[in-house]
Structure 1
Amino acid sequence: MHLSRDVLITLIKILSVIVLAMFLFFIGLMVGYGLIGDGSPMQVFNRTLWQHIFEFIQV
């Protein structure tokens, strides 16, 4: 029983780090696009922006 509790605590820690990393990644996207770039911070989540970026990379 002690082993399963340790595994659960470890999984919670790993998932917490992954969620925190994703949160910081999205905050970084918003800061980079909104403050450093000339766009609106929420516009970074626009699908057409990402389609344009992927088209630019593929060419």
Structure 2
Amino acid sequence: MVAKETTKPISREEVKKAKKSKKEQEIHEEGRQKVIVRVRLLPIWVRVLLVLILMVVSTIAGLIVGYGVIGSGEPKDALEKSTWQHIIDLVEKE
């Protein structure tokens, strides 16, 4: 009869600690510190620009859907200056 080996389940934290300690041992064994350099696919300024562009596009899409579909108007009219001038005149009317 063969005895079964029982293993205790380990948590994620224990796995992380084990990996960290292994890395630290490798660093100390080599005698110099490893430097991990993370290369980003997109620089931060590109990400900010991309977010701004997406915000403008989503705002325009929201205007068209809100004015054309929900407001039962013509969707292309949502982008005309005269429409917004009329809305401003209604809001500022006393």
After TM superposition, the score normalised by the length of structure 1 is 0.80
Return the alpha-carbon distance in structure 2 between the equivalents of residues 57 and 39 of structure 1.
Answer: 19
Return the alpha-carbon distance in structure 1 between the equivalents of residues 61 and 89 of structure 2.
Answer: 24
Return the alpha-carbon distance in structure 2 between the equivalents of residues 57 and 10 of structure 1.
Answer: 39
Q: CA RMSD in A?
A: 1.5
Aligned residue type for 2:73: G
Higher relative contact order (CA 8 A, sep 6+): 1
Return the alpha-carbon distance in structure 2 between the equivalents of residues 58 and 34 of structure 1.
Answer: 23
Structure 1 alignment gaps of length 5 or more? 1-5
Report which of the two structures shows the higher radius of gyration computed on alpha carbons. 2
Residues paired across the two proteins, number: 53
Q: Percent of pairs identical after alignment?
A: 34
- The residue number in structure 1 matching 2:68 is 34
Q: Write out the 4+ residue segments of structure 1 that deviate beyond 2 Å after TM superposition.
A: none
Structure 2 alignment gaps of length 5 or more? 1-39
